[in-house]
Structure 1
Amino acid sequence: MKVTLIIIIITLIVIICIQYVKNSKTSKDIKYIRETLQHIVEKGSTERIKLFTSDDEMKQLLTAINKLLDYNNNNITKYNKAKISMKKMLSNISHDLKTPLTVILGYVEMLKLKSEEKVMADKIYEKAEEVLDLINKFFDLARIESGDKKIQISKVNICEICRTTILNFYDTLQVENMEVLIDIPEKDIFVLGNEEAIIRILNNLIFNAIRYGGSGKYLGLVISDEETFAHIKVIDKGKGIEEKYKEEVFERIFTLEDSRSKSYQGSGLGLTITKSLVEALGGTIHVNSLPNVKTTFSFTLNKLNY
């Protein structure tokens, strides 16, 4: 009787141990699958999940997961190829259109010399310049996003660049009778950047503040000296941007007149290019807006602390 009881107890213990080992193995396998999937998502890798197991259900699950991963990788590859192809097409179209437009502008310049044709020539010239400007923006955006436009990063004085850039808008700000606040530290602040790119970023943001926020008769340019980065803000007190549009203003073809004023027309590419340039410099850009009170476009650039 005692021997039988002992055998039963031992058998139960063995069964419990086997079940524990099995459950423990399953738990480890699930943890491995979860961590591998997380790594694949975060790194955007094309690897598959490899796991040796005798569990039929686990094998079926792994097969299904790997099929989904293969399907997703194929879609990503097709998307990237289509994206590169589209960017190259835009770049080629932009280049092909610029040449005849430049020639047209040259002929219009000649027409403008004759007084009786000057008015008409001025209008043609103005519209041709608008088209050329749009093409240049398309061309620049395509080159930046495709990696064709290499931006050289070096040590630049952000304070000096901001002072010079805002001075270029002096006449416009005077004509518009705008109150101007310039808060730039006297000491030099050096960042990792590119002078040409930063000037273009500032020009776009200041131009938009005047064009779309001019009703507030206020423009601010502020630099904050943070520990590891410089924080640059362009501020206006115009009509502002509605909350529902704040996430869209940096998207291509979205125009600020959608959210501010219907009386102004834009290409919808200025802020997209601005964001691309900021990110190419290793920075970030954001917008905060309280309509008719304060709208702030701010971007950061990494500081050089030596």
Structure 2
Amino acid sequence: MSEEQFSILLVDDDEVDRLTVKRALKKAGLRALLIEAKKGAEAITKLQPSGNNLVPVPDTNYSSQTVDSTNHIFDLILLDYRLPDIDGLHLIAKIKELNLDLPLIVLTGQGDEELAVEIMKAGAADYLSKAKIEPKSLAKAIENAIRIHRAEQAVRLANQRLRASNELLVLKNQELERQQQQIKLQNIKLQESYNLKSEFLATMSHELRTPMNAIMGFSQLLLRQYPDPLTEQQQNLVRRIFNNSKSLLDMINEMLDFSKIEAGKLEVNSQKFDLNYLVKLTVEELRSLAIQKHLNLAVDIQLEDQFIIQDLNFVKRTLINLVSNAIKFTEAGEVKVKVWSTDETKVAISVTDTGIGIAPEDHEKIFQAFRQGDQSFTRKHSGTGLGLAITQSLVKMMGGKISLDSELGKGATFTVEIPRKYDV
């Protein structure tokens, strides 16, 4: 039996029947506070917050006691179907008009079972025959009605909260959809601007290459002292023209490659080639840069199988960018190129220098486009800042990765790892 104390409104015009109910509750040990009403109108009044005089039914030695219960809420109504002023159906309708959500058990006389069923259809929780009221059955009916009613209330409350949450989610989803539409429109505009920028870079780079090649070509003719010999001062000036033109052409080529990568117009063209030969050839092409700065340029190749299937131009461009960068940022010491197999499916190429090094906080930045370790206008080393960004893109396109190990003032090592065979 539940230890909870229930408040019950007992509506019955027969004093004997009311007494029977109270005795049954006492015998069943059900803790209850009763308010009695003899008529329907009186019951409606009792259901108002103002005039509830609750009568406790103690576990032992029943005694009537008046309790102030202003604003008390009932847990249950025990209702006699036949009242002097109103029948059960109309009373239930009036109770509903008060917006009271209470479980209700109908007490019927002999032969009122069909009417009781109609009342249950109208909203009653259960019905009991007065002639068959027993302590256990009455207590069980009351507890079941209250328990089921509370469970239904909890379900309704949960459903209300769920509906409120759903409505809130719908509003949030609508707002998110609106924001997504705005983002899509902004992305479209950004993509258009991005494409225009890439096309502009590609067009300008292509157009600038023609006059730069002409300037370099004429400079080379002059350096050959054709048709007339040049003075030493004139040769020095022409060499400056040629060297600066070459630097500009390198920058233009970087811009052109970068614009092609951004536009997705650069594709991998895999072929089988001798990596050993390509590395040695590329290093020799760059050796003059090292000699000008009195740097030692070393090569260490440890390959059992020197043939790979990759994009030859991508590998060569990657090696050129890393070695030329190492030479550019190294004032004394050496630049070393090492090639080896990491396993049966991959090869690695590292370029190590004894140059200025790169601070740890700049390791990620230097792979960004137009970024260098020194971003100031007074930096010593010129360049577009695209070399490493292009290199990283080329390595990724080959299915590989590039890493950096460096500290400021202690040189740097760039390591590229690529598959032996490009996987289309």
TM over 0.5: yes
Indicate which of 189, 201, 206 corresponds to 2:318.
201
Deviations 1:63-120 (A, max 9, x none): 1121222222222222222111100011011112222233333444454433144443
Residues 305 and 109 (structure 1), Cα distance of their counterparts in 2 relative to 1, 3 Å cut: closer
1:57 matches 2:175: no
Q: Is structure 2 residue 318 aligned with structure 1 residue 180?
A: no
Distance 1:102 1:186 in 2: 38
Counterpart Cα distance in 2 of 1:152 and 1:284: 18
Aligned counterpart, 1:219: 336
* SS of 2:356 mapped into structure 1: coil
* Alignment CA distance shift 1:6-1:62 (3 Å): same
Q: Is there any run of 5+ residues in structure 1 with no aligned partner, and where?
A: 27-52
Q: Matches of 2:290 and 2:236 in 1, distance apart?
A: 28
Q: How far apart in 2 are the matches of 1:165 and 1:130?
A: 18
Task: Give the C-alpha shift of residue 186 in structure 1.
Answer: 3.3
Distance 2:204 2:394 in 1: 22
Corresponding position of 1:133? 250
2:372 maps to: 255
Partner of 1:210: 327
**2:200 is equivalent to residue 89 of structure 1:** yes
Deviations 1:123-170 (A, max 9, x none): 223322222222121112111221223221345554443344334445
Higher relative strand content: 2
Structure 2 unaligned runs (5+)? 1-137
Write the letter of the residue equivalent to 2:296. Answer: M
> Equivalent of 2:177, from 66, 73, 87?
66
Q: Which has the higher helix share?
A: 1
C-alpha separation in 1, matches of 2:349 and 2:304: 15
Instruction: Give the RMSD, CA atoms, in angstroms.
Output: 3.2
**3-state SS of 2:302 partner:** coil
Which one has a bigger Cα radius of gyration?
A: 2
- Report the alpha carbon displacement of residue 4 of structure 1 after superposing the two structures with TM: 3.7
Q: Which letter does structure 1 place at the counterpart of 2:268?
A: I
What is the alpha-carbon distance in structure 1 between the residues aligned to residue 199 and residue 211 of structure 2? 20
The equivalent residue for 1:150 is 267
2:353 is aligned to 236
Rounded to whole Å, the distance in 2 between the matches of 1:61 and 1:119 is 71
| Contact in 2 for aligned 1:90/1:142 (Cα 8 Å) | yes
- Residues 400 and 417 in structure 2, CA contact (< 8 A), matched pair in contact too: yes
**1:181-219, Cα deviation, whole Å (9 max, x unpaired):** 61x333116555201110110111112122213424352
Q: Is the 8 A contact 1:159 1:188 kept in 2?
A: no
The CA distance in 2 between the partners of 1:101 and 1:156, in whole Å, is 32
Shift of 1:241: 0.7
Count of residues in correspondence between the two structures: 277
Q: TM-score, normalised by structure 2?
A: 0.57
Distance 1:129 1:165, change over 3 A: closer
TM value normalised by structure 1: 0.76
2:284 and 2:329 map into 1 onto residues whose CA distance is: 20
CA distance in 2, matches of 1:13, 1:220: 77
CA distance in 1, matches of 2:380, 2:372: 12
In structure 1, the residue matched to 2:147 is 9
Write the mapping of 1:280-299 to structure 2, written as runs, cut at 5 A: 280-299=397-416
Deviation of the 1:289 alpha carbon: 0.5
User: CA 1:186 to 1:84, structure 2 compared with 1: closer, same or farther past 3 Å?
Assistant: same
Q: Which residue of 1 aligns with 2:86?
A: none
Contact 2:298 2:337 in 1 (8 A): yes
Q: Which stretch of structure 1 is more off in the superposition, 81-90 or 232-241?
A: 232-241
Runs of 4+ in 1 over 6 A off after TM superposition: none
The residue number in structure 2 matching 1:41 is none
Question: CA, structure 1 residues 77+177, in 2 after alignment: closer, same or farther (shift >3 Å)?
Answer: closer
Find the aligned partners of 2:207 and 2:240 in 1 and give their Cα distance: 23
Kept after mapping to 2: 8 A contact 1:145/1:276: no
Q: What fraction of aligned residue pairs are identical, expressed as a percent?
A: 23
Equivalent residue for 2:239?
122
